[in-house]
Amino acid sequence: MKNLVPILAAVLLGAAAACSSSGDGNSGGPVELMLWHGQDDTAAKSIEKLVASFNQTHPDIKVKTDSGGATADTMLPKVTAGFAAGTHPDIAYMYGSWGAALARSPKVPNLKRYISGPNVKWDDFWPNTRQSSTINGKVIGFPSAVDALSVLYNKKLLAEANIKPPSPNWTWDDFREMSRKLTDAKTKTYGTTFAISGGEETTWLLWPLVWQHGGSILSPDGKKAAFNSPQGAQALSVMQQMAVQDKSVYIDSSPAEKGQKLFESGRLGLFLAGPWVLPDVQAAKIDYGFAPLPGTNGDHQTVSGPDNWAVFDHGSRRIKASVEFLTWLTQPEQQLVWMKDTGALPTRRSILQQPGYQEFLKKYPGIGVATDNLANAKQIRPVTAKYPRVSSFVAEAIASTLLGRSDPKAALDDAARKSDALLAVPGQ
């Protein structure tokens, strides 16, 4: 899941400036690269399989893989520590919302001159993935994943409650009513779950509702909070009513994602998640369906979390080798391997035309709905190094509201005051 670790961009930048390059790698023999993937289980095995295939067919480059001693959620502080110690990798899996902080670091080279190569086919990537990889004209890496927050539903629980599966034009009122009917205190079955673990896993549940109500996260110039507008308060009120009044929500305060475990155990009806959970859900043998996010006045905007394979500077030879590897890794043939193994959505348009794409659809029933849902990912989260801190302030407001401790508007106003103070400080 996309649990963002809130961390000051200044820490990242300071560590980067304090360290020196660990070598250009211009010695003879194959170029050796280190990739930190931060994945576990199925995803880790898939990337390691792909890297092994690359190494067999590219004798001039040898890629080594490691988790980096981190999960995807904790990769930013791990890479930051690597900058300071001179032990950072050549490539790492980084969340897109970290892009602004990374782009300001001198240890992150600009790959813009490489992406125009005929083999890269940069324009084939979805627009929002290119936006995530390009910060103020600086290309920090290649798109590694794209997703769109959707709804998985338990077909058996809906049938037992005499509830029809969600329609493409369903609303948040429908979602709330379904959740209420699916909740059973005796069996500890819940309608849905909201995460309050404190990072992006929490805030990105709110942003689609804010956008659907016509609100924004920040002002157009990025200097003031806008999420505490009436539209923002109305959006958070929808979540509060379900959690506090209806008591149809499992409040998940654990980064271990107990809400997902509830869905896998058959005790959660509607799960706000996406394709990344499919291998686990299928292993649990849950009969699931896919639906787009509920809408507001016909608007079904969702939030997408495009991630990157970020490249770090160990000299020009290793940068070029990293680009060659990532050009290969992100081609449709390799992406289809990754997609079939993990349930990930296609990062390129052309993948939908590949023969293997139909096999992917068959392996993950309903996932075509999630792919179609990418069209509803119309906005991206603010591209600013300060966003992780802003996100943490909003996550605190959401948690306080869903626990019944604060009024939605008051909680968002408090988060806005903290955010405005941070955004007013130049150069951070």
d(CA 263, CA 319): 42
- According to DSSP, the residues that pair with 145 across neighbouring strands are 307
The average pLDDT across 259-273 equals 96
Which among 130, 76, 138 has a CA at the least distance from the CA of 106? 138
Which amino acid, residue 33? L
Confidence band of 375 (pLDDT split at 50, 70, 90): confident
Which amino acid, residue 304? S
Convert the pLDDT of each residue in 66-89 to its tens digit: 988 888 888 999 998 999 999 999
As given in the structure block, the two tokens for residue 162 are: 């005499």
Confidence band of 380 (pLDDT split at 50, 70, 90): confident
Give the range among 20-34, 181-195, 210-224, 400-414 with minimum mean pLDDT.
20-34
The average pLDDT across 274-296 equals 93
403 contact partners, CB below 8 Å, separation of at least 6? 196, 243, 251
CATH class of 150-303+386-423: alpha beta
Identify the DSSP state of 96.
G
Question: What pLDDT does 147 receive?
Answer: 85
Q: Return the ∠ at Cα 153 (arms to 150 and 158), rounded to 5°.
A: 150
Which among 149, 99, 114, 64 has a CA at the least distance from the CA of 330? 114
Question: What pLDDT does 49 receive?
Answer: 97
- Sign of the CA dihedral 70, 340, 128, 397? negative
Question: What pLDDT does 428 receive?
Answer: 54
Instruction: Tell how far CA 192 is from the center of its chain.
Output: 20
d(CA 318, CA 90): 7
Give the range among 127-136, 154-163, 312-321 with minimum mean pLDDT.
127-136
What one-character-per-residue DSSP string does 101-164 give?
Answer: HHHT-TTS---TTTTTSTTT-GGGB-HHHHHHHEETTEE-EEEEE----EEEEEHHHHHHTT-P
Task: State pTM to two decimals.
Answer: 0.81
For residues 291 and 149, is the Cβ–Cβ distance under 8 A? no
d(CA 292, CA 277): 16
Which amino acid, residue 167? S
Convert the pLDDT of each residue in 13-53 to its tens digit: 444 333 333 345 456 789 999 999 998 888 999 999 999 99
Fold of 9-146+306-376: D-Maltodextrin-Binding Protein; domain 2 (3.40.190)
56 contact partners, CB below 8 Å, separation of at least 6? none
What one-character-per-residue DSSP string does 258-297 give?
Answer: HHHHHHHTT-BSEEEE-GGGHHHHHHTT--EEEEPPPBBT
Checking phi first, is residue 380 left (phi over 0); if not, alpha (psi -120 to 50) or beta?
beta
- Which of 267-271, 300-304, 362-366 has the highest average model confidence (pLDDT)? 267-271
Domain extents in the chain:
9-146+306-376, 150-303+386-423
Q: Return the ∠ at Cα 347 (arms to 148 and 370), rounded to 5°.
A: 30
As given in the structure block, the two tokens for residue 268 are: 């959660």
